[in-house]
Amino acid sequence: MNQGAPSLEAAKTRRGVFALVADMAAATQIVKCAAGLHVGVRSFDSAQKLVAQAVVEKPFLVILDFEKREAEAFRALNEMHKNADLKGIPVVGFMTQAKVMVKPEAEKAGCFRVYMKTEFGRELPDLIARYAV
């Protein structure tokens, strides 16, 4: 075996995806997509816990649910923006059409991109693969 190549176990434990997601269908989809790429997912129920762990683990991607966790999602964005160690971590979110007015606010607060929920589902495998490299 090539000593320079990472093992499957090493790939499974590399920096992963952090998610602050209440939508169970979206959470399941995130876990399945990440598992297919041998990437771990950590789910959090509060912005405070997500940010505290992000400082330690430095995830390669943070996913926020602006549909069902809007207040916590904005809290996470604000806390990450305040912390210089976390500023380079890509943050994306998703919402339904009913919350479309939140999109410009989220992007202004530091969310790299906010997807409509159906678009998020389509783009998720490519999104995780793009940032996992």
Q: Is residue 1 part of a domain?
A: no
Q: Is residue 94 part of a domain?
A: yes
Q: Is residue 3 part of a domain?
A: no
Pairing of strands 113-116, 91-95: parallel
Mean pLDDT of the chain: 87
Q: Which pTM does this prediction carry?
A: 0.86
pLDDT in tens, 41-66: 999 999 999 999 999 999 999 999 99
Q: Is residue 72 part of a domain?
A: yes
pLDDT at 31: 95
- For 24, 36, 111, 114, 122, the CA distances from 29, given in Å and listed in that order, are 8, 11, 20, 17, 10
CB 53 within 8 A of CB 42: yes
Q: Is residue 33 part of a domain?
A: yes
CA distance 35 to 67: 24
Q: Is residue 2 part of a domain?
A: no
User: Could you tell me the CATH number of the domain that includes residue 48?
Assistant: 3.40.50.2300
Backbone torsions φ then ψ of 63, nearest 5 degrees: -115, 130
pLDDT at 97: 85
Residue 68 has pLDDT above 70, yes or no: yes
Q: Is residue 69 part of a domain?
A: yes
What total number of domains does the chain contain? 1
Q: What is the 3-state secondary structure (H, E, C) of 63-102?
A: EEECCCCHHHHHHHHHHHHHCHHHCCCCEEEEECHHHCCH
pLDDT in tens, 9-23: 434 444 799 999 999
Domain containing residue 44: 8-132
CA distance 20 to 73: 7
Q: Is residue 81 part of a domain?
A: yes
Q: Apex CA 22: angle with CA 8 and CA 41, to 5°?
A: 10
> Which token pair is 90?
């890509």
